[in-house]
Amino acid sequence: MTNPPQVPPARQATPTEDRLSSHDGSLLRKVALSSLLGTTIEYYDFLLYSTMAALVFGQLFFPASNPAVGTVAAFGTLAAGYAARPLGGVIFGHFGDKLGRKSMLVITMTTMGIASVLIGMLPTYQGIGILAPILLIVLRVIQGIAVGGEWGGAALMVVEHSDADHRGRWAGIMQLGTPFGFLLSTAAIAAVTLLPESALLTWGWRIPFLLSAILMVIGLYVRLHVVESPIFVEASAKRKDRRSPALEVLRRPKQLVLAVAAGLAPFALTSLTSTHVVAYASGIGYAVSDVMGALLAVVAISIVFIPLFSTLSDRLGRRRVMISGAIGTVLFAFPLYAMINTKSMLVMVGALMFAQLLQNAMYAPLTPLLSEIFATRVRYTGVSMAYQTAALLGAGFTPLIASGLVAATGSSVPLSLIAATTALASIGALALTPETNGRDLNQNLVP
């Protein structure tokens, strides 16, 4: 008599999965909307400074006989903000892993909003001398600390509310905060650059920063009405140790180093094509207003491709999508600037759009990838340290280095080399990183 085929036992859902399944889609949509809105506002404030550094801060806060020197100095303060981001990731990650994600996100948004409004009220070098750039740097560092804590918490609120099969899709919604923040800040700057130059340099540049107060109030209202991550709540009930999350992450540095290297390429490319390109393109003959208008069109494609590539990573895997974008970046690094150097607006827009598509392929799966690497007890800290260190190394110093190299060589070749080299570094790191797609976030992952 033939034995009947053995049917594998049904997989038992974890308590967290039971809790997640009991929630209807409206809760997850609310969490995703909150993270999207919060990230949009944070990046509006942070990226606003980046573009203003390219346009006016060199003249207003770092006067010099050579305009290029002022621009390099302004980009130096931009780097200071990026340097503070890993510190913010450690500080807010520590308390986020100990006390919860939600409370940290309220603090980061308030801190960022206040710092941005104060920048808008800051006297210039002409008014208070050397104190002006000092205060500007201090406020920029505060911005960096705030945004360093924001991203990790916003990402985890979405990822830890999602089921394993759709983390990429929901994380893609949260990551739209970056292009939305850029579009919002670029639109605000594009509007004030229509003013006469004298008006722009006296009061026009302040308006976008002062608008942060309104955005902060809206964002806080939404953020206060979401619930804490269920995975964090469950892990907290079982937590027995009181060790520092940062020290736990650093005890096993291999995965942190690989995670940082995986994020280098998307940050370097976006820094070159959305921040430094304003100074570079205007320096070779493009009108600033035309460049700002082009960037609005270019970044708008991210609204389509970030969710697309995030969802694709649920099907194909995080590594495969990211490596494809990195290989494309290596191949396109030199054609990118050759096209910009034609001084044709149409050709430049096409080049920047394709570069943005490659950046989206590398950037979109980064949130679920990092979230799936670290254990719940250190996830906020680990994700924040990896992401913000990659942002510092890939984007924080890139405009400063790029401006110095262009001033020294008069060539765009160093810019192409930066894009290609960072992409190769990311390819190497991703090749050494195991696929994380579909991992159970309750597992005792590294570290």
Residue 257 lies in a domain: yes
CA distance 113 to 216: 6
| Secondary structure (3-state) at 175 | helix
pTM listed for this prediction: 0.81
- pLDDT of 184: 87
DSSP letters for 260-290: HHHHHHHHHHHIIIIIIHHHHHHHTT--HHH
**Cβ neighbours, 10 Å, residue 345:** 15
| Secondary structure (3-state) at 179 | helix
Residue 13 lies in a domain: no
CA distance 36 to 30: 10
Residue 15 lies in a domain: no
CATH code of the domain containing 58: 1.20.1250.20
Residue 392 lies in a domain: yes
CA distance 180 to 182: 5
Residue 440 lies in a domain: no
Count how many domains the chain has.
Answer: 1
Residue 265 lies in a domain: yes
pLDDT tens digit at each of 447 positions of the chain: 444 444 444 434 444 444 444 345 677 888 888 888 888 887 888 778 877 877 788 788 877 645 565 666 666 666 777 788 889 989 998 888 888 888 898 899 899 889 999 999 999 888 888 888 888 888 988 988 998 888 888 888 888 888 888 899 999 998 898 889 888 887 888 888 888 888 888 899 999 999 988 888 888 888 887 777 777 777 776 666 667 888 888 888 888 999 999 999 999 999 999 888 888 998 898 988 788 788 888 888 999 999 999 999 999 999 999 999 999 999 999 999 999 999 999 999 999 999 999 999 999 999 999 999 888 888 899 999 999 899 889 987 888 788 889 888 989 999 999 999 999 999 999 999 999 888 877 765 544
- pLDDT of 11: 39
Residue 408 lies in a domain: yes
**Which residues have a Cβ under 8 Å from the Cβ of 115 and sit 6 or more positions away?**
45, 139, 142, 143, 146
- pLDDT of 17: 45
Question: DSSP state, 397?
Answer: S
Domain of residue 125: give its range: 24-233+244-432
Interhelix angle 302-316/167-175, rounded to 10 degrees, is 160
CA distance 332 to 343: 18
Residue 10 lies in a domain: no
**Which residues have a Cβ under 8 Å from the Cβ of 71 and sit 6 or more positions away?**
53, 54, 58, 279, 403
